[in-house]
Structure 1
Amino acid sequence: MGLSEQERAALGGIDFPRGRGLLGTLIRRPEPLRVQEISSHPHSAGFPPGHPPMCSFLGVAISVRGEVYGDLYLADRRDGEPFDAYDEDIVVALAGAAGVAIENARLFEHARAGSELFQRLLLPTLPDLRPYEGAAVYRPATTPARVGGDWYDAFLLPDRACAAVIGDVCGHDLNAAAAMAQTRNMLRALVYDRRTPPSAVLTQLDRTLHAITNNPLTTACLARIEPEGSAWTLRWSSAGHLPPLLITPGQRPKYLHVDPGLPLGVDADQPRSDHTHPLSAGSTVVFFTDGLVEHPQRPIDAGLDALARTAATHGGLSLNDLCQALVDHHPSDGHDDMAILALRTPLPT
């Protein structure tokens, strides 16, 4: 029956049991324990002030594979009779089920934490991008023990441009995470080695993936921020990815909508397009994956609009704080992992 409200109130300020008395005996010697009179047992430690009276006792340790998680115990049968072997069998079965449930919960948490760590180890730490600023954030899906295929990357190029990429491999398992790592590393090498526009790099990446891998469909956006005198130009190509969000000082944030193109893995011979947009000093370009804005009960445009409103509110923050604000106030339902990459052009000196 548990405790009544009055009994709970009488125990106000009293700590939970600390494993002394009969409860401690169960933990030290995890065998079923039946006692007809608690106070007469040599290990009885008494009760704190306000504790309801208890006479008979039936306790079983909750354990799995020799590890004790706690105790399951009853006191005072409703009919006043001592607990018997039948009662003990029931409580032993309940304790076994409780132990399995606790162990499963711990295993799920261990798997979730391991999956999240694995995902984070696959993502890069952004290097020094000066004269540009850069920040990124990754947040795993709320579903336990899922890894995803979201990734980001940014690095300086020999021609003084800053490369940026955001991508999402379809799937939520180790295969997707492995494909993500393979695609990211391959793309990084192509971007750094070739002096070709983003569209040509994505085309070569698509052909290479098609020839030597069996990777699933992948969306990506590859961009370069190129210095142009006292200003900059954003040059990018999209492989089925969501548009970048541009935050220009003194203006409302806007999406750079273009033909999104085909995801990687659909048709490697399909031509891809490059797009350009001028950037002024202190402009911020935000790249993100669809987990940030997708919600099953709303069209994706509603999520994009909500993200733009959040960006308008927090666009003047530092890049790290801006990324954190965007992921903290995301309009999605959290079913998918989220990645955000933000780059900012230098302010006048």
Structure 2
Amino acid sequence: MTESPDDSPSGARRLRLGTELAQIAEQLVALARGQNRLNELYEAVISRDQDLSDVLELIVRTAMDMVGARYGALGVLDESGERLREFIPVGLSEAEIAAMSGVELPSGRGLLGFLITHPEPVRVKDIAAHPASVGFPPGHPPMRCMVGAAVSVRGRVYGNLYLCERHDGRPFDSHDEAMIASFAEAAGLAIDDASLRQQARLDAEQFQRMLLPRLPSLPPFETAAVYRPATTPRYIGGDWYDAALLPNGGIAAVIGDVSGHDLQAAAAMAQIRNMLLALVHNTTVSPAKVLARLDDTVEALTANPVTTICLARIEPTPPADTRTGWRLRWSTAGHPPPLLLTPDGQARYLAAQPDLPIGVDTGITRRDHTRRLPPGSTVIFYTDGVTEHPHQPLDRTMARLAAQAAAHARLPLQELLDTLADHHPSDGHDDMALLAVRIPALRDAEKTGDQSIHDADQR
């Protein structure tokens, strides 16, 4: 009987060689895809400055994509390195999550604990048959195969990456194991990066909070302030505020925003704030002239970044003026306008053409603006982190802020600012500060006076 070419030994070898070459080609494609996913992971960590919790979930999702896994998880070890302090599961459907309601997160027993005590890559075709397996809790979806690897940061095991069930139903192979082991090693670098960035943000936030004043009692005025770091991502910036009593019985209020989102911005904020405090107590110099002097000083003595400021004074009306109330006099260096909340609960912006920020052009002429305030009014100062949203027009977000202030006008002053900060109309990409000053009610000597309000720009 004559052999056909395909049945010959050489034909079998060619068939086997073709199969092996196809597998190699498939592995090369998978490796290239894995490299791309690693690049995307680092891009996300570095350029987007994501929080550590987001990075951990991104690592799990990236690993799942690389080997086509249906389920994935990252178990983070506690300080002892013997137990899990955090478990981040990915891939569970809403129904699967509901079926496991009330079940405690894994504590590191069974196969999870095996990888803790044996921090080497592991591949299991049948989880139930593994000597370390202790079974699944009630409601847990069935899982048959698993691949896992330890994730190390600076030579210490940070946690373990677990992947279960391939979408194609096949068990994980040696190629999957090698790829996940390499990825786990690279993921440790990403975690280290994200951890360092997070710690730097926390340190900077603590530093800035130490620099911001705790407003003292400033009778007869009531004051309140709020500072919030950015939430997406969480970083601090150069937002700041301050308030102080003046020799003439009034109060000075200032709010500012130094460009930048790091320790340098916080340090620059402290310098500018201290310079301004040295200038503001001279009530014979108008707010506009104070900001002009500050601009000259900043240019001459520092290399501080661009800063927006709103400097205001709330003072009793002159004795010769029979009209009742208080006078607000302010100057704006590129800062959002103050928000006036009248005693009857109406909110309106004190719109005035802003001058350039500090650090742009010392040759400009800065302007003062004045407004009479009815007794019992509240003036709210804020930074642009409260109102800026990349997908909404500024007039809409400012209208929302004013509506919130009017709706909660009767709250105690600190509660009012906390509410505005909690329900701010911005997207949270920037830190925010709010400062409010509530002026006294009618002075006895002026209870019969005229309570009109008017604008008067002083050029």
Quickly name the TM-score band, shorter chain normalised. 0.7 to 0.9
Residues 1-47 of structure 1, C-alpha deviations (whole Å, 9 max, x = no match): 44997987776644333212332132123123456776776645455
TM superposition shift of 1:174? 3.5
- The reply on whether 1:310 has 2:404 as its aligned counterpart is yes
- The reply on whether 1:91 has 2:180 as its aligned counterpart is yes
Q: Answer whether contact 1:134 1:341 (CA < 8 A) is retained.
A: yes
Residues 243-287 of structure 1, C-alpha deviations (whole Å, 9 max, x = no match): 211111125222222232232223324332322222232110011
Counterpart amino acid of residue 428 in structure 2: G
Structure 2 counterpart SS, 1:153: strand
What value does the CA root-mean-square deviation take over the aligned residues?
A: 3.3
Q: Answer whether contact 2:201 2:262 (CA < 8 A) is retained.
A: no
Q: 1:293 to 1:33 in 2, by over 3 A?
A: closer
Partner residue of 1:132?
221
From 336, 342, 345, give the equivalent of 2:436. 342
From 196, 201, 215, give the equivalent of 1:112. 201
Q: Answer whether contact 1:307 1:331 (CA < 8 A) is retained.
A: yes
Larger RCO, structures 1/2 (Cα 8 Å, 6+ apart): 1
From 348, 352, 360, give the equivalent of 1:254. 348
Structure 1 counterpart SS, 2:410: coil
From 233, 238, 242, give the equivalent of 2:332. 238
Partner residue of 2:211?
122
Structure 2 counterpart SS, 1:67: strand
2:236, 2:96 → 1: CA distance? 46
Structure 1 counterpart SS, 2:371: strand
Counterpart amino acid of residue 240 in structure 2: W
TM superposition shift of 1:334? 2.5
Q: 1:160 to 1:67 in 2, by over 3 A?
A: farther
From 145, 160, 165, give the equivalent of 1:70. 160
Q: 1:36 to 1:147 in 2, by over 3 A?
A: closer
- The reply on whether 1:290 has 2:384 as its aligned counterpart is yes
Partner residue of 2:416?
322
Q: Which moved more, 1:241-250 or 1:65-74?
A: 65-74
Q: 1:328 to 1:210 in 2, by over 3 A?
A: same
Structure 2 counterpart SS, 1:95: helix
2:142, 2:358 → 1: CA distance? 70
Structure with more helix by fraction: 2
Q: Answer whether contact 1:35 1:41 (CA < 8 A) is retained.
A: yes
Query: How many residues of Structure 1 are paired with residues of Structure 2 in the alignment?
Result: 347
Counterpart amino acid of residue 432 in structure 2: M
Q: Answer whether contact 2:325 2:442 (CA < 8 A) is retained.
A: no
Residues 62-119 of structure 1, C-alpha deviations (whole Å, 9 max, x = no match): 3322133134255799567xx7754532332243344444444434433333333233
2:189, 2:147 → 1: CA distance? 20
Q: 1:73 to 1:277 in 2, by over 3 A?
A: closer
From 196, 215, 224, give the equivalent of 2:285. 196
- The reply on whether 1:278 has 2:368 as its aligned counterpart is no
Per the normalisation by structure 1, the TM-score is: 0.84
Q: Answer whether contact 1:292 1:338 (CA < 8 A) is retained.
A: yes
Q: Answer whether contact 2:345 2:409 (CA < 8 A) is retained.
A: no
2:92, 2:296 → 1: CA distance? 70
Structure 1 counterpart SS, 2:281: helix
Per the normalisation by structure 2, the TM-score is: 0.66
What 5-or-longer segments of structure 1 have no aligned partner?
none
Higher Rg: 2
2:141, 2:419 → 1: CA distance? 50
Partner residue of 1:265?
359
Counterpart amino acid of residue 338 in structure 1: M
1:241, 1:55 → 2: CA distance? 61
2:238, 2:405 → 1: CA distance? 25
Q: 1:254 to 1:53 in 2, by over 3 A?
A: closer
1:246, 1:27 → 2: CA distance? 60
Q: 1:224 to 1:23 in 2, by over 3 A?
A: same
Counterpart amino acid of residue 67 in structure 1: V
Counterpart amino acid of residue 241 in structure 2: Y
Q: 1:27 to 1:203 in 2, by over 3 A?
A: same
Q: Which moved more, 1:2-11 or 1:28-37?
A: 2-11
Structure 2 counterpart SS, 1:323: helix
